Structure formats: structure tokens, C-alpha cells
Amino acid sequence: MDLLLSWPGLVSALVLVAAGAIQGSTGFGFNMLAAPVLAIMIPSFVPGAMITLAMVVSIGGALVEHSDIHRRDLLAALSGRLVAVMAAALVLGMLAPEAFAAIFGLGVLLAVGLSLSGWHVRPSARNLFIAGATSGFMGTLTSIGAPPMALVYQNTGGARMRATLNAFFVLGSLMSVGALIWAGRYGLRDLALAATMLPFAFLGFLFSGWGRRMMDKGQVRLVILTVSTLSAIVLLARAFGFTG
């Protein structure tokens, strides 16, 4: 409760409302918006509590549109993520977090540039496996792992994308939490922090209906490329010390 009476707590709560609305609208983006802000305002939130919050909000999205979950897509992506989170747990501490952020930020910008040049990625089993692995590795190390999966889905219908991504992030986040526990980087404090701020994230999710309607009108690709670019900029800003 003391956290919510402080300026960092209040700012973080408002950001989580916005992040919940974005996640409910698109199936991704929660950590893209919230993780960088909370890393500055409440550094202990990243990565454990942040991953936990994203997982719980994704459960809501997966339940709302459960009939649109594409199970073959989900299986391929989760297979890749399972491999990647184990690798991420092994390399935790081998490089500075800033180094990982720089590598992933540049990679996302490259993928966005290729997409704008006319390069299209189909959501095939192979591509989803690679995207799921990259997403899992990025997400476990930096809390921002959505861009690879979102870019694969940029030419796919809104409902299929939202439902499958939400299901992917629910199960994938469980894997990441397990990897953090194994590496000694997750505990009861992470759960307590997540529980304190969860009502604000769900409040935003309740207002996401307008966003789902926009995505269903054909704005999927524009939203994905915009949010992915912003996430890459955030990662690079973190890598070079511009976010504190």
C-alpha cells in the first residue's frame, strides 16, 4: 500500500492501466510499454514481477477469445520458447543486461526494416518456432519479448493473432518464471509486487474493446510495426543508459 502512495507507484499504476488496454487490444505490448517505465520507477519489478503481471493479463485475453486460439501455431511457438528459456537461464549474468538489450533492439529494428521493404514472414511452423525461441530468450532476459512473435503475425487477422499470442504469453511466461526460479532470480517479493499492481493492469484490460475493434478493421500491420519500433528504441535507450 505504501508503494501506491508514492510518486513512482502512482506513475507506474497509470502506465499499467495503459499497458493492460494495449495487451487486451493486440495480444501483445504489455511489457513493451510497462517494463521500461517500471524499470526506472520501481527497478525491483523487472523482470520477475513484470513477467508475472503480463502473464495474468494474458490469461484474461486468452479466455475472452479462446475459440480463436490457433493450436498448431501455439505448439510450434511454445516448442521454440521452451528451448530458449533454458538457454536464457544459463546465460543470465554472463553479459550485462545492457548488452542483451542492444543486441535485441538492433535485431527488432532490422526485422521492422525488412518488413517495410516488402519482406513478409508467414506464420509457418518453422517461423513460429524461431519467433517463439527469440521471444522467449528476449523476454526472460529483458522482460520485452513480444516483437518477434508479433512480426510473424503482422499479416494475420486480429482475432487469431490476439488469442494465440495471449495463450503463448501465458504458457511462455510460466516457462520464464520457472527459469528465473531455477536461476535464483524470482521469489515471494516478486509475487507481492505483482499482486499490488495487478488491479491497475486489469482495469486497462477492461477498456480494451475499442482497440480490438480497430485491429479487426485491418490495422494489424500498422500497429505491430509501430509498437515493435518503439520497443526497439526502448531497448536501445536502456542499452546506452538513456533510461536511467
pLDDT tens for each residue of 135-179: 988 888 877 888 889 889 887 767 888 999 999 999 999 998 998
Binned at pLDDT 50, 70 and 90, residue 94 comes out as: confident
Binned at pLDDT 50, 70 and 90, residue 57 comes out as: very high
Q: State percent of the chain over pLDDT 70.
A: 94
Give the angle subtended at the CA of 17 by the CAs of 14 and 21, to the nearest 5°: 145
pTM: 0.84
DSSP 45-85: GTTHHHHHHHHHHHHHHHHHTGGG--HHHHHHHHHHHHHHH
How many C-beta atoms lie closer than 10 Å to residue 31's C-beta? Answer: 27
Q: What is the pLDDT of residue 90?
A: 82
Task: Using the structure block, give the residue that is written with the C-alpha cell 505504501.
Answer: 2
Distance in angstroms (rounded) separating the CA atoms of residues 36 and 54? 14
Phi, psi of 208 (to 5 degrees): -90, 0
Q: What is the mean pLDDT of residues 121-140?
A: 91
How many residues does the structure list for the chain?
Answer: 244
Binned at pLDDT 50, 70 and 90, residue 218 comes out as: low
State yes or no: pLDDT of 235 exceeds 60. Answer: yes
Q: Kindly state the DSSP code that residue 186 receives in the 8-state scheme.
A: -
State yes or no: pLDDT of 243 exceeds 70. Answer: no
Distance in angstroms (rounded) separating the CA atoms of residues 168 and 82? 11
